[in-house]
Structure 1
Amino acid sequence: MPTADELNLEGVEISDKDLETILSIDVPRWQQEMGYREEHLKQFRDLPEAIWEAHRRVASALDE
């Protein structure tokens, strides 16, 4: 997720509050979503480990 300083916003009219909203993550909501995704992924046999690794990486980042 980029920070506001990393974005070229030249010519873009957006309030600081709206930009903050766009760049924010609702951590509790995404943690809930990751639980749903895990249940969904468990439905598939022989899912590549890379998919599970990506799932665990996102879940871990949300827990930090």
Structure 2
Amino acid sequence: MAKEFTGVDAEEAAMTSVDRLGMQVRIKAGDEFYSRRIGFLSEAINPEKCREVIVQMVKQVRG
């Protein structure tokens, strides 16, 4: 998902923070590390909605 939404050729990615509008991820690509923001497709007004939005984004990437 990190590769699709950030454009970085990620080998590994970890979510470091989440808010109602998106998430911050730490990405490893080769010997480099990047911090990128991935915006949600819609506002997540509570934890349940946050999970729904992330699941929706993963499904979008997987096709």
Q: Which has the higher contact order (CA 8 A, sep 6+)?
A: 1
- Structure-1-length-normalised TM-score: 0.32
Of Structure 1 and Structure 2, which has the larger fraction of its residues in strand? 2
Give the alignment's TM-score, normalised by structure 2. 0.32
Rg: which structure is higher?
1
Which structure shows the bigger proportion of residues in helix conformation?
A: 1
